[in-house]
Structure formats: C-alpha cells, structure tokens
Amino acid sequence: MAPAPELLPYAKIREDLFRPLSGAGSSYWLTMLAALAVVLAGAYAWSYQLRFGMGVTGLQRPVFWGFYIVDFVFWIGISHAGTLISAILRLTEAAWRKPITRAAEAITVFALMIGGLFPIIHLGRAWYFYWLIPYPNDRLIWPNFRSPLVWDLTAIITYITGSVIYLYLPLIPDMAQLAEHNTPWRRKLYRILSLGWTGSDREWHALERAMKLMAGIILAVAVSVHTVVAWDFAMTIAPGWHSTIFGPYFVAGAIFSGIAALIIVMALIRKVLKLELYLTDHHFNNLSKLLLMMSLLWLYFTMAEHLTVWYGNEPEEMTVFNAKTRSAYAPLFWGMVGLNFVVPFVLLGIRRLRTIQTAAFSSVCVLIGMWLERYLIAVPTLTNPRLTSATSSYFPSWVEITITAATFAGMVMLYLIFAKIFPIIAVWEFKPHVAEEE
C-alpha cells in the first residue's frame, strides 16, 4: 500500500505538486483548443443575439425566463463547492480537506464568474446592464433596491470578492515558494503575487487569523447568496414559485451540485496531473458520503415542497404540479429524481460499489439532475400561467444551447489555465508539520 502522503519526503511532494506548472503536453493544448472553439461559438451566438434581439432565443410569452436563468442558478449553485469544502471543513478542522481546498476554491471563483455573466446575457437590452448599479447618473434615478435582482447584484459582488480573497490568501505562501521558478514571466508573476512573503511567524499568524475569519464570513455569504437567487423566484406570486422553502431548498441544492462538481474535478486532476498519491480513496470516500448525504437532503426538500403543494390542491398550483409530475414535464421530472437520488443512493450507498469511478459517474448524473431541477422550477410555472389563455410551451434555440455549452467549455478553459499557473494543491497546507510537542 502506498505510504500516506504526509509521510512522503518533502522533495517529492514539492516536485509532484509543482511539476504540472512546467510545460504542457499535446493533450493539454488539444483540450484547450477544443474548449476555446466552443467558447468562441458561444461568443458568436451571444453577439448574434445582441445584434438581432432576444427573439433569436426560444423564449415566448409567457415563458420569459428559460435556459439563461436556469444556467445562472446552476452555475451559482456550483460555486458552493469551494465554500463547503473550504469553509465548513476548515471550521470543523477536518484534515482530509487539505489537498482539496484550492481546487474547490478555484471552482467557486470560476463558477461565480461564469454564473455572473448570465444576468447580463439574459437581458433584453444587455448593453444597459450597468443601470442596476447605483451611481449618480443623468437619468436622475437610482435603481430599485426593493427588487430581488438588485439584491442579486449585491450578493454576487460580495460573494465574488470574498471568494477571490479566500482563494488568494492561502496562495500567498505558495507564491513565495515558486518565486524562484525557471520561467522569467512566472518569476515576475509569482513574486508580485507573493507580496514579499517571507514566512515569518507574524505573517503566518495573521494569515491563519484571516483564514479563520474568512471561513466563517464566506459561509454566511454563501448561504445568503443562493437564498437571494432563490428569492428571485420565491418573491413572485407565480404558482409553483411562491414558496417559503425555496431559500433553504436552493442552498441545499447548491451544496449538492457543488460537491458533485468537486468530485468530477478532483477525479480529473487526479488522473491528468498524476496526483494519485495525494487524492486518495480516503478523500473520495468522504466526498462520496457527503454527496450521498446531500442527495438525501435534496430528496427531503423536494418531497416537502411537492407533497405540500399536492395536498393543498390549489387549482393553479396543481396545474403546475401536474405539468411537472404527470404530463408534459413528467419524463424530465422523474429522470431528475432518478439521477439525483437513485443513482447516488445505489452507487455510493452500497459500500462495495463506492469507488472513485462510480463517485465521478454519480456526480455527472447529479449535475445533469440538478440542471434539470432548475429547469423544472423555472419553465413549468411559466408555461402554465394563471390565466389559461396564455398557456404555452418552451423549447430552446441554438443560441441558448450554444451559450450554455460555451459556459462549460469556459469553465474547462479557466481551470486548465489555473492549473498551469498555480499549484492545484496548497503545498504549505499539505506539507506535514514538523514534529510537535506531545
């Protein structure tokens, strides 16, 4: 059996974790190129939409929110990966989180950057998106602070600032270590980013205090961010949306999809960067158990929401409920339940079936399932308005599909770039402590 990573010699750890930073093979460049192609296709699709109008999407009255809003909620949800792992596990001092934190925090920052694009992409006049920002202007008017969309703006700005800082802080010591890298531009970059870190105890103390505070703050922010996103729906009076459970439901769903995204990313970097010694079965076992737990929590919330709607039997709510579970959207709904609950429950609940591969597979299923969940929240309500003369349907156009695909490709690109410039495992956090006082 391989030695525990903490017991490997320092030189080997350093070498393993810094090796991905030098050089890039052909598979790296091919993946980058493919991702870039999809991203460019998405950029073209968006420019097409800006040029010709929102009519190029599949949206129609009364389905005014479609793929873009689903994508928005989905990506903001994924951003909870970093928060859970870094903040909660840091606060509970779970040691197994150490090799995972930076990868998770990177997912958070990139998912937020991508998710934060969608409130702009979905606008009818996207070039005026900045009107939601309060600044003195010649329209003589401030934004409407009562609107959940303005709350969204503040929440996401706060979360992105916090996440970037939370990613950057533990990066500083690693930057100092890399400052003697062989490539000149890297040397310069690392030196600037290290802020002259020397490793003195004063600096370490300040860093640890800051990390501890940030962990608590970022947790509070993360809960609020997805609650506020949920309130974009829940604050309306649309049937199926006006539910008090949406706040906690979305947060639980976000953590759920975040863990799934994290497992997939971990499995990939383990394979590609040859980090088998550092990301072990132990880590995936724990993450799988977390995923399973969140799956059960998700099931609970889904049950609670739908059972109360069904039992209350209000006509307009039941129209939406029936559309979701019995008629038009039933295949998607039950597929979602299968992907989000049945697959993880079987593959991860049965100990013998719980491997890294099945964890990754379950996570992919969960991501699809969670995307479907957001779709099934947004669309069936809109296609079944209170006044039935407006009942309609929705199917996305190539523009929406391309832009959605481009965001996934964009995530891949950002991550590939990140992994090449910064060590994906925090070396200083990971190195074994020098023998301590008994």
Lookup result for tokens 């996440």: 163
138 binds other proteins, rule: CB under 8 A: no
Among residues 389, 436, 410, 354, the alpha carbon closest in space to that of 36 is found at 410
Asked if 48 touches other proteins (CB under 8 A), the answer is no
- Tell me the window of 29-37, 204-212, 260-268, 402-410 that interacts with other proteins (CB under 8 A): 204-212
CB of 10 to other proteins, least distance (A): 4
Nearer to other proteins, 77 or 385 (CB): 385
**By C-beta, is 142 or 334 nearer to other proteins?**
142
| Separation between Cα atoms, residue 328 and residue 380, nearest integer Å | 9
Q: H or E segment at 232?
A: helix 201-234
According to CB under 8 A, which one of 87, 107, 117, 155 is a site residue for other proteins? 155
Q: Does 88 bind other proteins (CB under 8 A)?
A: no
Applying CB under 8 A, among 37, 40, 188, 209 the residue interacting with other proteins is 209
Please identify, using beta-carbon distances, which residue of 97 and 354 lies nearer to other proteins: 97
What is the DSSP code string of 374-412? HHHHHHHHHHS-SSGGG-------HHHHHHHHHHHHHHH
DSSP letter, residue 19: G
Q: Is 215 in the site for other proteins (CB under 8 A)?
A: no
Of the residues 65, 72, 341, 415, which one makes contact with other proteins according to CB under 8 A: 65
Record the tokens describing residue 321, joined without a space.
């409920």
Q: Which of 296, 414, 397 is nearest to 346 (CA)?
A: 296
Does residue 353 bind other proteins (CB under 8 A)? no
Sign of CA dihedral 116, 122, 126, 130: negative
**Size, binding site for other proteins by CB under 8 A:** 92
Binding residue for other proteins, selected from 36, 189, 217, 318, defined by CB under 8 A:
217
Closer residue to other proteins, CB minimum distance, 71 or 361: 71
Assess 158 for contact with other proteins (CB under 8 A). yes
| By the rule CB under 8 A, 179 interacts with other proteins | no
CA dist., res. 8 & res. 282, Å (int):
17
Q: Select 97 or 270, whichever has its Cβ closest to other proteins.
A: 97
Question: Which token pair is 119?
Answer: 């409130």
